[in-house]
Chain A
Amino acid sequence: MAGPRYIADPANALTSVALDGLTVLFHAPSGMTHIVASPAPEILDALRAGPADAAELLRRLRARFEFDGDEAIHARLGELEAAGLVRRA
């Protein structure tokens, strides 16, 4: 049973700066700044290819990065959704 599908904003909506292991993001549509850790930047990147549910997202992450954790994907998506960085399709 597929869960909800998520969408991220296009790449030009975000300015991303890496600072010793963490990523600082400026999200233009909200004017807000977020400090995030992996796998948040990778999730946002993987969603740029198009909307995806959690299962599809995991597939994309494994294909592009060395990604092993999967239980936490729902929690990470929830956090990104609360922050406004992803939304439901």
Chain B
Amino acid sequence: MRHSLALQIGPVAFRIGSAWRSPLDALARLYAGYPAPADGLCDFTVRLEPERPWRRFVRPSVAIRGDYVLPDAAPLALAHGLLAAEMGMNLQMALGQRRWLLLHAATVERDGRAIVMTGESGAGKSTLAALLGERGWRLMGDEFALLDMDAGTLLPFPRAISLKNGAIGVLEAEAGPGRFGPRLAGTPKGDIRHLRPNREAIARMGEGAKPALILFPRFGEAAAVRGVGQAEVFMRLTQASTNYVALGCRGFDALTGLVRSVPALAIDYPDTETAVGLIADFRRELAA
């Protein structure tokens, strides 16, 4: 491939090849300060390729390919090449990750305790995690939580946070301008802007944490907190996992272990500040 870039994110290394330079330039700027894979080797390969040979130049169209592919995936315009690279990495994890149990969740850590926030897309997990990352919490990841099936701990996977539409402004007010990627308008999900995790998150990307609380946040409702039964937690976590089914007995033991040892709460919140406040309360209770 004409151009390539290698990235280490938590315990996972990616090599990304591209027929065009611009997406990789944008990716390198967004991930400034991230280490290159220590041994020069990667776990997964992502490829950004023209859908058809002539689409490299004429109305350039980026097909997202790599070790693991979604056969019907629609290509993206070259202007959204950075998004294509991010989606490519997501795809490798979602389809090919087998070393750790993956949960579609955002994870933040403080005082050695990790809070895992999971739920449907649009529930505001990324925005919440990003904001907590600016308020003294260490961001471990906003897309995937990695559960070590032997140790029961969570490993960081601090990718750039994908902020959509209204959330962009919220974080622009809190995080320094140098940490943002370009504003991508007109994507299938609206406007997107990526935010690089802060220096602490990057520096500590090799450091796991014990899960202390599982949260099911729901945005747009009056503030409320309820307990969630273990059977329901188990079921929702299997639904939030892309690789649970492939992991057999190990996955079952790890997930039942997690559910039995970590409390879970469902929280409704009308706005992100309320949620941040609720989580600060939980922090005090966990520390008590």
Contacts and interface: CB of A to CB of B under 8 A. Distances in A.
Interface residues of B, number: 15
B249 interface: yes
Interface in A11-29: 15, 17, 19-22, 24, 26, 28
A3 interface: no
B234 A35 contact: yes
A19 B252 contact: no
Nearest to B230: A19
B234 A19 contact: yes
B6 to A, nearest CB: 34
Interface string A31-47: 11101000000000000
A19 B256 contact: yes
Contacts of B244: 33
A26 B231 contact: no
Contacts of A24: 231, 234, 252, 256
A37 B178 CA distance: 54
Interface residues of A, number: 13
Name the residue in A17, A21, A26, A28 with the highest tally of chain B Cβ atoms < 10 Å from its Cβ: A17
Nearest to B257: A17
B234 A31 contact: no
Contact of B229 (A17, A19, A26, A32): A19
Contacts of A22: 231
B248 A21 contact: no
Contacts of B260: 17, 19
A22 B245 CA distance: 20
Nearest to A25: B252
B249 A26 contact: yes
Contacts of B248: 26, 31
Contact of A20 (B230, B249, B253): B230
Given A20-B229, A20-B230, A26 B252 contact: yes
B173 interface: no
B252 A21 contact: no
B63 to A, nearest CB: 33
Contact of A33 (B230, B238, B259): B238
A28 B249 contact: yes
Nearest to B247: A31
Contacts of A17: 256, 260
B231 A21 contact: yes
B235 interface: yes
14 contacts: A17-B256, A19-B229, A19-B234, A19-B259, A20-B230, A24-B234, A26-B249, A26-B252, A31-B245, A32-B245, A33-B238, A33-B245, A35-B231, A35-B235
Going nearest first, the 10 A-B pairs with the smallest beta carbon separation are A22-B231, A19-B230, A26-B252, A19-B231, A17-B256, A20-B229, A31-B248, A20-B230, A20-B231, A33-B252
